[in-house]
Amino acid sequence: MSDTYERLVALLAEGFGLEAGEIDPERTFSELEMDSLALVELGLTAQQEFGVTIADEDIQSDDTISQAAKTIEAKMASLA
C-alpha cells in the first residue's frame, strides 16, 4: 500500500479511535461507523496532514479507505 494510505490509517488510529487491525483497504467508512460529521472532521485532519483542501463531497461514507487515499493522492499530484 502507498505511503498516503499508511498515513491515512495512522490518522484514523490516532484521531478517530480505530484500531490499526480493524482498518482494511477495502473497508468503507460507514463500516467503521464514521458518519458524515466524522468525515468532515477527517477532512480537516487530512487537510493538515497532506496540505491539500478536502471538500465535504471528496470523501463519502461508502468510500473505502484505499479510495480515500487515492482521492488524496490525486489532489496532491495536481498540486505538484
Task: Report the interface residues with other proteins, using CB under 8 A.
Answer: 15-19, 32-33, 37-38, 40-41, 44, 48
Shortest distance (Å) from residue 41 CB to other proteins? 5
The smaller minimum CB distance to other proteins, of residues 47 and 70, is found at: 47
Shortest distance (Å) from residue 31 CB to other proteins? 12
Write the burial class of residue 15 (CB in 10 Å: 0-12 exposed, 13-18 middle, 19+ buried).
Answer: middle
CA dist 23 and 52 (Å) reads: 23
Shortest distance (Å) from residue 4 CB to other proteins? 21
